[in-house]
A and B are shown apart, each in its own frame.
Chain A
Amino acid sequence: MSKIHVSTEINGDQVEFLCETDETLLDVLRDQLGLTGAKEGCGTGDCGACSVTVDGRLVCSCLVLGAEVEGSAVTTIEGMADGDALHPLQRHLLEGAALQCGICTPGVLVAAKALLDKNPDPSEEELRYWLAGNLCRCTGYDKIIRSVMTAAAEMRGEKS
């Protein structure tokens, strides 16, 4: 069976790849394009560790076929920092010790950014529901929530 040729945009760059019909976007990102930030936790859309956005919409990349992103715009965790300058979300998760093993962190960051892009001033409840699909087995979530709320306040220009 011949592979499928796909051209897409990832973090603003035009990218072309060949994939098998049953290859997920997560497999393509990690195994072909060397973008290993998105993690495979469950592979069935339950854990959120593989979160990316496709055309601005937060999705699990394990539930997207590589072939489906033809002509789309994908963003991953690798597109979040500006060169060496971390995004405020990244900085506050580090400063707030909101990660231990780190497997869930890229997905949490991508998901949190997707929320703040849509709603720069979410309530804690909105944030907790939004991140309900990002499982973390280390932190107990509290530090993640606090760090994202602090980053959101900074991004709104409020003093912490």
Chain B
Amino acid sequence: MRYVGVNSFADAVDLMGSEQGKCMILAGGTDVLVQLKLGLVEPDLLINIKAIPGVKEISVSSTEYRIGVAVSGAELGEDAGLKAEWPGIVEAMELIGSTQVQGRATLVGNLCNASPAADAVPALVSAAARVEILGPLGRRKINVKDVTIAPGKTSLAKDEIITAVCLPRQQKNSGDAYLRFIPRTEMDIAVASAAVNLILAQDGSVQSARVSLGAVAPTVLLVDDAAKALVGSKLDDAALEQLSMACSAACSPIDDRRGTIDFRTKTAGVLACRAAKIAFQRAGGSL
């Protein structure tokens, strides 16, 4: 394996384009180094992107947050403005691993590792986050939802790289939340998870919603029927029941000893209801 540290994304794209063998990107490294150690991956070229100017920065404009690809979970959590505006996303990222892992792990790494159980991804999907991609033909933006196409696989071409996460500014009267189920209290992988992002109308009812589920299908799901169940309601019991049923109906989980199909399917609905209540209250709604 060769190792190269690059100073620009353009250099990374050039290197990936001309490399005959397999390339991997080192952003945080908390997944890549483990996979290298266990022999799960054998890249010919490892490209460190942490020295590219701007990759450790979070910038904010009137329309969006732009989060650099090497911003760690710990750094994300220290951005008070971002945490106040998108608490669900920050909390989802902070659930990943230990304090030590938080010092290195990144949002984009969590996304590109393409695990169905990635904690940060449902929260990003419910927030309608997008990623900026650079390739030989230039820049493009796609929805976070469209990055992962199967466990361990992304839709990016071999010579494309994510250069930033773009998060819309949260609107007034809106809120997001993410919850997961794990068999312990800390440091485990989601058995099922749910993220909800709500905007409330002036009368306090839900004007629009996005509901996303993790660990219950090969990729993170965006469940339109679950969102529809909430719109127009103030999260009354009937709406929550509809939400729970829509979520469970969307699940097609694996069956393993950490969680059976039945358990994951039911839990996804329960978590969506709880996350919806938190998001609703964060948006200023009263239950």
Would you call the interface of chain B mostly helix, strand, loop, or mixed? Answer: mixed
Distance between Cα atoms of A54 and B103 in the complex (Å):
9
Q: B33 — which chain A residues lie within 8 A by C-beta?
A: 24, 45, 62-65
B38's nearest neighbour on chain A, judged by CB, is A44
Pairwise interchain contact A60-B101, C-beta atoms closer than 8 A? yes
Q: A4 — which chain B residues lie within 8 A by C-beta?
A: 3
Q: B76-104: which residues lie under 8 A (CB-CB) from chain A?
A: 97-101, 103-104
Select which of A1, A63, A132 is within 8 A of B29 by beta carbon: A63
Q: Is A35 an interface residue (CB 8 A)?
A: no
Distance between Cα atoms of A31 and B42 in the complex (Å):
24
CB distance from A127 to the nearest CB of B (A): 11
Q: A44-84: which residues lie under 8 A (CB-CB) from chain B?
A: 44-46, 48, 51, 54, 57-60, 62-65, 67-68, 70
Pairwise interchain contact A65-B3, C-beta atoms closer than 8 A? yes
Pairwise interchain contact B50-A68, C-beta atoms closer than 8 A? yes
Distance between Cα atoms of A120 and B99 in the complex (Å):
17
Pairwise interchain contact B48-A58, C-beta atoms closer than 8 A? no
Pairwise interchain contact B103-A58, C-beta atoms closer than 8 A? yes
Q: Is A111 an interface residue (CB 8 A)?
A: yes
Q: Is B140 an interface residue (CB 8 A)?
A: no
Pairwise interchain contact A67-B3, C-beta atoms closer than 8 A? yes
Q: A1 — which chain B residues lie within 8 A by C-beta?
A: 2
Distance between Cα atoms of A146 and B254 in the complex (Å):
42
Given contacts A24-B33, A65-B33, contact A48 B98 (CB under 8 A): yes
* Besides A22-B36, A60-B100, A130-B99, 20 new A-B residue pairs in contact (Cβ under 8 A), listed by A number: A1-B2, A21-B2, A44-B34, A45-B33, A45-B100, A46-B98, A51-B100, A57-B72, A57-B103, A59-B103, A60-B104, A63-B101, A63-B104, A65-B48, A68-B29, A68-B50, A111-B100, A131-B99, A132-B98, A133-B100
Binding site for A on B (CB under 8 A): 1-3, 5, 26, 29-30, 33-34, 36-38, 46, 48, 50, 72, 74, 97-101, 103-104, 186-187
Between-chain CB contacts (< 8 Å), 21 pairs: A21-B1, A21-B3, A22-B36, A24-B33, A44-B37, A48-B98, A57-B104, A59-B100, A59-B103, A59-B104, A60-B104, A62-B37, A63-B29, A63-B34, A65-B26, A65-B48, A67-B3, A67-B48, A111-B100, A115-B99, A132-B186
